[in-house]
Structure 1
Amino acid sequence: MQVLNRPGGAMHYCIDGPANAPAVVFANSLGTDLRLWDAVLAQMPQIRAIRFDKRGHGLSDDSEAFSIDDLADDAAALIEHLGLGPVVFVGLSIGGMIAQALAARRPDLVRAAVLSNTAVRMGNAEGWAQRIAAVENQGIASIADTIMERWFAPPFRATPELAAWRNMVTRTSAAGYAAACRTLAATDLTLTTRLLDLPVLVIAGDQDGSSPADLVRGTADLIPGADFHIIPDAGHLPCVEQPAAFAAILKPFVQEHCQ
């Protein structure tokens, strides 16, 4: 187990791949831990992959109210702790918002960014308030089936693997999940993301019920020179449903920007 102590508590992380390989940092979505990337990393043994559990998720500590800037600072501290940077930073959903905030706050640490199934602003205050209330009053299990419908296309939801992802969500700390929802409700990165000046790859799933492809495309359109891809037959977590397609898009981007 590898842990970095942060103001928000213990931050769990892991490193895979050769020490001299290109460093790529991965940030997870709401309700998942660093295992989110297992299937993609199996197809990319040539990188040095750094993954971490954000506050309130996986094996990291719970934390009281935090901002997207706090999460970006956690990522920056990890990169500096490991003596890395600049890195390629890959983030999905709230992880993609961390990527945007980090690239804006610490451009010295990010050489290129991959924004998957994310946007400058996700959801609305009313929707997040309803979700927070459900989690705090009835537990995450009360919304787990709805989350699965938003996350995955129907063919994947018919597989036995779905149970593991549902379990991952329901075993997330309710306090950590609700705190992350409050962060998402309060975050609008429009002003800083449109000023980003680095290579950016943006990925969407054509069946994403949480961040529809048109929403993701809107963020890509804000960033000068951003490259946009839609993965067919994929919902909110294309790295899970379509890992080969995800890796096929990611590999040339990493190779180009780690020369």
Structure 2
Amino acid sequence: MQVLNRPWGAMHYRVDGPAKAPTVVFANSLGTDLRLWDPLLAEMPEICAIRFDKRGHGLSDRAGDYQVADLADDAAALIEHLGTGPVVFVGLSIGGMIAQALAARRPDLLSAVVLSNTAVKMGTAESWAQRIAAIEGAGIASIADTIMERWFAAPFRARPELALWRNMVVRTLASGYIDACHALAATDLTEGTRGLDLPVLVIAGDQDGSSPPELVRATADLIAGAGFETIADAGHLPCVEQPAAYAAILRSFLKEHAA
């Protein structure tokens, strides 16, 4: 296991794949750890993949109050620590918001960005407050089944491995999850994302209950020259449900834009 010491504590990260291969950094969604990308990376042994657990998730320390911009600074620190820039940065959900903030703040570290199942603003202050109240009142387990319905299409929810993804959510540190909810509630990246000037690919799942395709498409429409792809039969985590299709889209983008 590898760790980067940040002012707020220990950030867990992992590097897989050939050192001289194209380097891709992956940022996870809310309620997941870096294992989110396991199904995809099994399809893409040709890349050097860098993954990390954001604050309060996985094996990383909790940091208390923060903003999405602070998560982007963590990602920048990791890229600089490893000396791998410029990289292609792939972010999903809140990871996609990290990608947007990083691209606006530190474009020198990036050759291209993939924004997956994300938007410039996700949810409302009211919806996040309701989720926080539910967790504070009855724990993450009380909303886990609803999360599974938003994350996955019906065929995947019938598979035995759904239990593993539910367990990942339920075992997330409640305080760490809530910290991220507060950050999401306070974030609107419209202006910074509108001004991005690097290659961007935006990916949606056609059955995403957390970031519907039309919301994801609206973010793509803000960015000059951004590509847009929809993955069929996939919800909020298409890298899990449809890893081969996701890999094909990402591989094509990397051929053109990976350093």
Which TM bucket (shorter chain)? over 0.9
**1:141 counterpart = 2:141:** yes
Paired with 2:258 and 2:76, the residues of 1 have a C-alpha distance of 19
Paired with 1:8 and 1:89, the residues of 2 have a C-alpha distance of 23
Cα deviation for residue 78 of structure 1 reads: 0.2
Q: Over aligned residues, Cα RMSD in angstroms?
A: 0.6
Query: Which residue in 2 is equivalent to 1:63?
Result: 63
Query: Which residue in 1 is equivalent to 2:168?
Result: 168
Deviations 1:69-89 (A, max 9, x none): 100000000000001111000
**1:152 counterpart = 2:152:** yes
Cα deviation for residue 137 of structure 1 reads: 1.7
Cα deviation for residue 63 of structure 1 reads: 1.2
Alignment-mate amino acid for residue 125 of structure 2: A
**1:82 counterpart = 2:82:** yes
Cα deviation for residue 213 of structure 1 reads: 0.1
Paired with 2:214 and 2:192, the residues of 1 have a C-alpha distance of 20
**1:44 counterpart = 2:44:** yes
Cα deviation for residue 8 of structure 1 reads: 2.1
Query: Which residue in 1 is equivalent to 2:192?
Result: 192
Deviations 1:57-112 (A, max 9, x none): 00000110010110000000000000111100000000000000000000100110
Q: Which runs of 4+ in 1 moved over 2 A?
A: none
Paired with 2:87 and 2:35, the residues of 1 have a C-alpha distance of 20
Paired with 1:137 and 1:55, the residues of 2 have a C-alpha distance of 22
Paired with 1:170 and 1:7, the residues of 2 have a C-alpha distance of 27
Paired with 1:24 and 1:192, the residues of 2 have a C-alpha distance of 22
Please show how residues 96-245 of structure 1 align to structure 2 within 5 Å: 96-245=96-245
Paired with 2:201 and 2:167, the residues of 1 have a C-alpha distance of 30
Paired with 1:97 and 1:129, the residues of 2 have a C-alpha distance of 19
Paired with 1:102 and 1:216, the residues of 2 have a C-alpha distance of 18
Paired residue secondary structure (1:120): coil
Question: What runs of 5+ residues in structure 2 fail to find an aligned partner?
Answer: none
Alignment-mate amino acid for residue 143 of structure 2: I
Paired with 1:118 and 1:133, the residues of 2 have a C-alpha distance of 23
Paired residue secondary structure (1:209): coil
Query: Which residue in 1 is equivalent to 2:256?
Result: 256
Paired with 1:99 and 1:8, the residues of 2 have a C-alpha distance of 20
Paired with 1:131 and 1:219, the residues of 2 have a C-alpha distance of 24
Cα deviation for residue 226 of structure 1 reads: 0.3
Paired with 2:172 and 2:62, the residues of 1 have a C-alpha distance of 10
Cα deviation for residue 255 of structure 1 reads: 1.6
Alignment-mate amino acid for residue 209 of structure 1: G
Alignment-mate amino acid for residue 249 of structure 2: I
Question: What runs of 5+ residues in structure 1 fail to find an aligned partner?
Answer: none
Cα deviation for residue 258 of structure 1 reads: 1.9
**1:91 counterpart = 2:91:** yes
Deviations 1:18-69 (A, max 9, x none): 1111110000000000000001111111110000000000000011001011
Paired with 2:8 and 2:168, the residues of 1 have a C-alpha distance of 22
The TM-score, its normalising length taken from structure 1, stands at: 0.99
Paired with 1:32 and 1:255, the residues of 2 have a C-alpha distance of 28
Paired with 1:242 and 1:47, the residues of 2 have a C-alpha distance of 18
Paired with 1:18 and 1:241, the residues of 2 have a C-alpha distance of 25
Alignment-mate amino acid for residue 92 of structure 1: L
Alignment-mate amino acid for residue 214 of structure 1: E
How many residues are matched? 259
Cα deviation for residue 254 of structure 1 reads: 1.0
Paired with 1:173 and 1:7, the residues of 2 have a C-alpha distance of 20
Quote the sequence identity (%).
78
Cα deviation for residue 125 of structure 1 reads: 0.6
Paired with 1:218 and 1:3, the residues of 2 have a C-alpha distance of 36
